[in-house]
Amino acid sequence: MKTIAALGIVALTAGCAFNPRMSYDELNTFKIDCSKKYEQMDFLRSQMPTQNERLGAALTRGLLTELPAHFRGEKSEHSRLVDGDYGFIIRAQISSLERNCPDARVVRQ
């Protein structure tokens, strides 16, 4: 019984974060600004879901969150969080910053 209560508490508090999470679509259309390369990389890293957030989304994912998105031909935010889509898009944006924005401290000859 204590285990079930503990899992319930984890499920209720796991999604709580101090910084508001951007939606998947907002992350996917995130505009890169090379003049703010390191600030944007830090911001994107702060948007990376934690293990507890993914667990909380997995425990609270159900028919009420999945069916409406399924019938619209979309994935729910819970599914994107659990399936790792958030992590993928964040890593892709960070990689794009690293590739496309030259480091100002490196002098090319």
In a domain, 75, yes or no: yes
Q: Which domain holds residue 8?
A: 2-100
What is the distance between the alpha carbons of residues 29 and 41, in angstroms, rounded to a whole number?
15
Q: Which residues are CB-contacts of 7 (< 8 A; sequence separation ≥ 6)?
A: 59
How large is the average pLDDT for residues 72-79? 73
Q: What is the pLDDT of residue 12?
A: 45
pLDDT tens per residue across span 28-53: 899 999 999 999 999 999 999 888 88
Lowest mean pLDDT among 52-61, 66-75, 79-88: 66-75
Q: Please tell me which residue, 55 or 15, carries the higher pLDDT value.
A: 55
Q: pTM of this prediction?
A: 0.65
**For residue 65, is it within any domain?**
yes
| 73 located within any domain | yes
Quote the pLDDT of residue 90.
Answer: 93
Domain membership flag for residue 109: no
15 contacts 56 by C-beta, under 8 angstroms: yes
Under the banding of pLDDT at 50, 70 and 90, the label for residue 10 is very low
Give domain status of residue 107, yes or no: no
Give how many domains the chain has, as a whole number.
Answer: 1
**Structural domain includes residue 6:** yes
CA neighbor of 82 nearest in space, from 59, 65, 64, 103 = 59
